[in-house]
Amino acid sequence: MIPKSFRIEFLARRREFITLLGGAAAAWPLAAATAQRAGKLPTIGFFGSASPSTWKPWVAAFVQRLRELGWIDGQTIAIEYRWAEGRSERFDEIMAEFIQLNVNIVVVGGVAVPAAKRATSVIPIVFTLAQDPVGSGLVASLARPGGNVTGLSTQSGDLFDKRLEILREIVPGLRRLGIIANRDNPAVALEISDAHEKARKLGIDVIISNIVRADDIAPAIEALKGRADALYVCTDPLVNTHRIRINTFALAARLPTMHANRDFIEAGGLISYGANYPDLFRRAGDYVDKIMRGAKPGDLPVEQPTKFDLVINLITAKALGIDVPPTLLARADEVIE
């Protein structure tokens, strides 16, 4: 006969074990449990459309948020990084690698989302930096994306009016606006079309200089020299990868530049206004957490930026002989000097 004291201890330990198991089950998502049974950690495929150096602060924000939510690379998850280095021909190849690796989620920059979406209708996809997710056909609607894709929009096209307003403060006689852009990028093509229409209504002539490779940058900016009063730079992986080159040639051509984010200003650009990219990548970590814990991407609304930054480089302004209005400096979130 089993002693009563032993039975009591056994039942107590049994209750303790069940409680522990139940807590672990609640904290550990289905995807992770499945991956563990298969002998590996749940895996995030992180798809960078540019280079590791250009995305470094954004990746850091994403990884930090995951850590806060309990997802630690090498312990509770694995992160597989792939970089396209601004080359769109790499997009399909990277997605093929992720499918072969059987990743649980793909996190991808906006310009590469169409390639990711074409490659799989099963693996959840979280996008960041998408300029117009509805207009470009990435999702059915912002509130109900549907399918396996959701994420964060930059509202870049919607910000053209504000950027133009700021440019006119810093270049009061603005009449001719040069735009440098990779028109092969569908999202950029939409932005150019919108910018052209809005500038025309204000009596500003627009001159487009198209680039499709790094070697196009110098002649594209040279073609604007003496023909444009300022340069509006449409962001995409190619432009982001070569931002120092763009700003160097723009400065040589005496062209004040307007950019979408502060990384271009650190690289010598004059002024930027746009969504705070590290914040968007941080919030992408929340999407990953929800999906890992069982949420369906199509049920998670696409979110828009909540933080916007105005950044001014006074070193560049001085080199161009521009006096930045004190009222504009007072509104800036950051001034580089």
pLDDT of the chain, 337 residues: tens digit per residue: 444 444 444 444 444 444 434 433 333 444 444 444 445 899 999 999 888 988 999 999 999 999 999 999 999 999 999 999 878 889 999 999 999 999 999 999 878 889 999 999 999 999 998 878 887 888 999 999 999 999 999 876 678 899 999 999 999 999 999 999 998 877 788 788 888 888 988 899 999 999 999 999 999 999 999 999 999 999 888 898 899 999 999 999 999 999 999 999 999 999 999 999 999 999 999 999 999 999 999 999 999 999 999 999 999 999 999 999 999 999 999 999 9
- The vertex-91 CA angle with 90 and 96, nearest 5°, equals 100
Structure tokens at 33: 């449990």
Residue with tokens 């440019």: 167
Q: What phi, psi does 178 have (nearest 5°)? A: -85, 140
Evaluate if pTM is beyond 0.85: no
3-state class of 223 per DSSP? coil
Contact 233, 205 (CB under 8 A): no
Straight-line distance from the first to the last Cα atom of the chain, in angstroms, rounded to the nearest whole number: 84
- Report d(CA 236, CA 239) in Å as an integer: 5
Contact 96, 119 (CB under 8 A): yes
280 φ/ψ sector (left φ>0, alpha ψ -120 to 50, else beta): alpha
Contact 216, 182 (CB under 8 A): no
| Complete DSSP assignment for 155-205 | -TGGGHHHHHHHHHHHSTT--EEEEEE-TTSHHHHHHHHHHHHHHHHTT-E
Contact 238, 182 (CB under 8 A): yes
For domain 29-154+278-299, give the CATH superfamily.
Response regulator (3.40.50.2300)
Q: How far is CA 119 from CA 8, 49, 102, 123, 247, in A?
A: 57, 16, 13, 9, 35
What are 48's strand-pairing partners? Answer: 83
Residue type (1 letter), 300: L
Return the CATH architecture of domain 157-274+308-336: 3-Layer(aba) Sandwich (3.40)
Task: Using alpha carbons, select from 67, 110, 130 the residue that is nearest to residue 289.
Answer: 67
Parallel/antiparallel/unpaired status of strands 205-210 and 176-181: parallel
In the chain, CATH 3.40.50.2300 covers: 29-154+278-299, 157-274+308-336
